[in-house]
């Protein structure tokens, strides 16, 4: 079991990452709160020793994605809200393009969303994503290629890299 | 594409409130010792599995296991009602302790639900939600014969309602609850009644039955200020000596 101090540090350090994963996976804010509690409680209870912050972060990403999967299976949750509510804020005009990109990513099928986020935002390689999602690396390559293709179509074909 | 995605997700942050609330909720668990199975979705799954198992047992003649209450959750605003909970955390009975409570109990369909879902449904019901919106005070009391179960229920209910300043949760002893029932009151109201009676011996049970919790607190507070000739700070609890936590 970890100390309160360690848990607080983890919430500060990885809160944004957990929040972004919740955005990828969940449809309302109340569920996000549940996931935060579940993930950091699991972290607090875990005796896992991490070699590095990267190791710790990858563990938390996996725990968050699994917690979201469990929650989505629960038949008690069905409420959905708009993206603006999910983001806790209205989208100002200057942010419109970013919101549009976010909407495009969120409109992809679940399996594509995960790999797009982990690869383009978190900077993981296909092999690392395979480790986190427990998928074969070739499957990850395929998912990434398809996800990129769909996203390009959604964003008007201006995708410019890998 | 990489830059656009980075910029888009860079805008998404865990708010200060979300981090603080998570910290508070975890700290509350930490103070009580971490429960072995505290993860909500997992717990729900286990509870459902337990319920299925129980149904099988019931079919095999073990229904007394399921239909014996081991804990009770008393909810008082002005509607006063009580949920009977079995050892599997399922609601097996709802009883109204005054007219409004009976009316609300009749409308509810919470039997066999997990207590958390039942409490959530009651607090979200039109009647209670309207009272909370009017700033009325809700008292939730957990009691029972199994201390561990009561402690767990109280901790969960406290956590579920932590965001509502007008909802207060307590633990109580079984004997006290029985005395409350003998007076025809649910426990939360009974405690308030005892406090009010100490300050105003003329108060009657019938009077208390029809008062809201808020009215009771206000009257107690007014009388306390009068008798103790000292100002007391706001809030509905500390000054009335209601013990927090698993007071079993």
> How confident is the model over B23-33, as pLDDT tens digits?
988 887 766 55
Strand locations in chain B (E): 69-76, 80-86, 91-96, 138-144, 167-172
* Confidence at residue B233, expressed as pLDDT on a 0 to 100 scale: 38
Condensed to tens digits (0 to 9), the pLDDT of residues B181-220 reads 788 887 888 888 888 988 888 888 888 888 888 888 888 8
Q: Provide the Cα torsion B221, B225, B226, B229; round to 10°.
A: 170
Condensed to tens digits (0 to 9), the pLDDT of residues B156-169 reads 888 777 767 788 88
Helix (H, G, I), strand (E, B) or coil at B88: coil
Q: What average pLDDT does the structure give for chain A?
A: 82
Q: Which two tokens stand for residue B193?
A: 């009644």
Describe the crossing of helices A29-45 and B40-57 by its angle, rounded to 10 degrees. 90
**A89 pLDDT higher than 70:** no
Helix (H, G, I), strand (E, B) or coil at B172: strand
Q: Which two tokens stand for residue A30?
A: 């109340």
Nearest to B13 by CA among A147, A89, A56, A67: A89
Taking residues B117-122, what's their average pLDDT?
86
Rg (CA), chain A: 16
Structural domains in chain A, sorted by start: 1-90 (1.10.1740.10), 91-157 (1.10.10.10)
Band of residue B58 on the pLDDT scale cut at 50, 70, 90:
low
Cα B14 from chain centroid (whole Å): 29
Band of residue A84 on the pLDDT scale cut at 50, 70, 90:
low
Is the CB of A64 inside 8 Å of chain B's CB atoms? Answer: no
CA–CA gap between residue B6 and residue A150 (Å, rounded): 18
User: Which span out of A24-33, A91-100, A113-122, B106-115 was modeled with the highest average pLDDT?
Assistant: A113-122
Q: What does the longest C-alpha to C-alpha distance in chain A come to?
A: 49
A161 → closest Cβ in B1, B26, B45? B1
Condensed to tens digits (0 to 9), the pLDDT of residues A106-159 reads 999 988 999 999 999 999 999 999 988 888 999 999 999 999 999 998 887 554
String of DSSP letters for A5-38: HHHHHHHHHHHHHHHHHHHHH-S-HHHHHHHHHH
Q: Which residues of chain A neighbour B39 with C-beta distances below 8 Å? A: 38, 41-42, 67
Asked if the Cβ–Cβ distance from B27 to A4 is below 8 Å, we say: yes
Q: Which residues of chain B neighbour A152 with C-beta distances below 8 Å? A: 1
Asked if the Cβ–Cβ distance from B5 to A121 is below 8 Å, we say: yes
Taking residues A16-45, what's their average pLDDT?
87
């Amino acid at each position: 079991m970890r100390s309160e101090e360690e848990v607080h540090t983890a919430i500060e350090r990885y809160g944004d990452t957990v929040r972004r994963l919740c955005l990828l996976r969940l449809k309302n804010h109340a569920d996000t709160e549940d996931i935060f509690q579940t993930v950091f409680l699991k972290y607090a209870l875990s005796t896992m020793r991490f070699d590095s912050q990267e190791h710790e972060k990858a563990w938390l990403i996996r725990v968050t994605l699994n917690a979201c999967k469990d929650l989505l299976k629960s038949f008690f949750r069905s409420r959905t809200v708009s993206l603006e509510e999910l983001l806790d804020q209205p989208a100002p005009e200057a942010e419109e393009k970013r919101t549009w990109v976010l909407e495009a990513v969120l409109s992809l099928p679940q399996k594509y969303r995960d790999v797009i986020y982990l690869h383009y935002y978190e900077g993981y390689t296909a092999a690392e994503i395979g480790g986190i999602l427990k998928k074969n690396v070739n499957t990850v390559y395929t998912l990434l290629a398809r996800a990129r293709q769909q996203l390009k179509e959604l964003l008007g074909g201006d995708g410019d890299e890998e | 594409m990489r830059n656009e995605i980075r910029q888009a997700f860079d805008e998404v942050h865990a708010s200060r409130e979300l981090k603080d609330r998570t910290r508070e909720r975890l700290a509350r668990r930490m103070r009580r010792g971490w429960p072995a199975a505290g993860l909500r979705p997992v717990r729900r799954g286990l509870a459902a599995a337990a319920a299925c198992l129980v149904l099988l047992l019931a079919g095999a003649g073990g229904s007394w296991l399921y239909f014996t209450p081991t804990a009770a959750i008393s909810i008082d605003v002005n509607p006063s009602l009580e949920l009977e909970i079995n050892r599997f955390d399922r609601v097996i009975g709802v009883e109204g302790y005054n007219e409004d409570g009976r009316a609300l109990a009749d409308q509810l369909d919470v039997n066999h639900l997990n207590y958390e879902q039942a409490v959530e449904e009651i607090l979200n019901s039109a009647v209670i939600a309207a009272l909370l919106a009017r700033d009325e005070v809700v008292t939730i009391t957990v009691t029972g014969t199994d201390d561990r179960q009561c402690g767990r229920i109280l901790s969960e209910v406290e956590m579920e309602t932590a965001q509502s300043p007008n909802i207060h949760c307590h633990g109580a002893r079984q004997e006290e609850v029985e005395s409350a029932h003998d007076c025809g009151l649910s426990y939360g109201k009974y405690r308030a009644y005892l406090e009010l009676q100490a300050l105003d011996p003329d108060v009657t049970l019938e009077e208390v039955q029809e008062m809201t919790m808020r009215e009771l607190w206000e009257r107690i507070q007014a009388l306390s200020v009068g008798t103790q000739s000292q100002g007391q700070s706001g809030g509905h609890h500390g000054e009335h000596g209601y013990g927090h936590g698993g007071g079993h």
